[in-house]
Amino acid sequence: MITAIYPGSFDPITNGHIDVARRAARIFGKVVIGVFEKPTKIVTFSLEERVKMASEAVKDIPNIEVRPFYGLTVDFAKEVNANVMVRGLRVSADFEREFDMAMMNRKLSPELELVCFIARPEYQFLRSSLLKEIARVGGDIANFVPAHVARALKEKNGNSPI
């Protein structure tokens, strides 16, 4: 069985993330969504909140599990015995960033393969940061995230739940 990791901050998880995870789960025997403890960007949700939201979002996919991780992604891959890393690509800028990371990961862990999924057209513009900004000013993000994530964003912004 091939185990793949799908690492990220998932702050919060979007329908685009879920689509990539679902597609990966059809190909790989096991997919571990790794929620990174300390991303380089400022996060809205705690690690525990992000893990909980991601777990809820993929609970219907039996071969996906969600785990927090700390430190290097390649070390997390070894910890869960993954030999594939899954990433989603939306636009050409994603490719450049992912290429650089892939080359570094190749140096750190030559046995870890990278598999990229091209985002479906309806998700190519989705960015967690953009959705958080829309939610912060009261915009409707219900079509872009699961309902529990939309509620969490409303609550985080001081609005009443949906």
Q: Which of 9, 17, 87, 132 is catalytic?
A: 17
Dist CA 21 CA 92 (whole Å): 20
**CA nearest neighbour of 34 among 2, 77, 63, 1:** 77
Q: Which of 38, 41, 59, 127 is catalytic?
A: 41
Q: Do residues 145 and 12 lie in contact, with contact meaning Cβ atoms separated by under 8 Å?
A: yes
Q: Are strands 3-8 and 30-36 parallel, antiparallel or unpaired?
A: parallel
Q: Identify the active-site residue in 52, 90, 136, 154.
A: 90
Q: Is 17 a catalytic residue?
A: yes
Catalytic residue among 30, 87, 128, 132: 128
| Cα R_g (the chain), whole angstroms | 15
Helix 15-27 with 47-57: angle, nearest 10 deg: 60
In the residue annotation, 41 being an active-site residue is answered as: yes
Name the nearest CA neighbour of 58 among 85, 25, 84.
25
Let me know if 106 is a catalytic residue.
no
Task: List the catalytic residues.
Answer: 17, 41, 90, 128
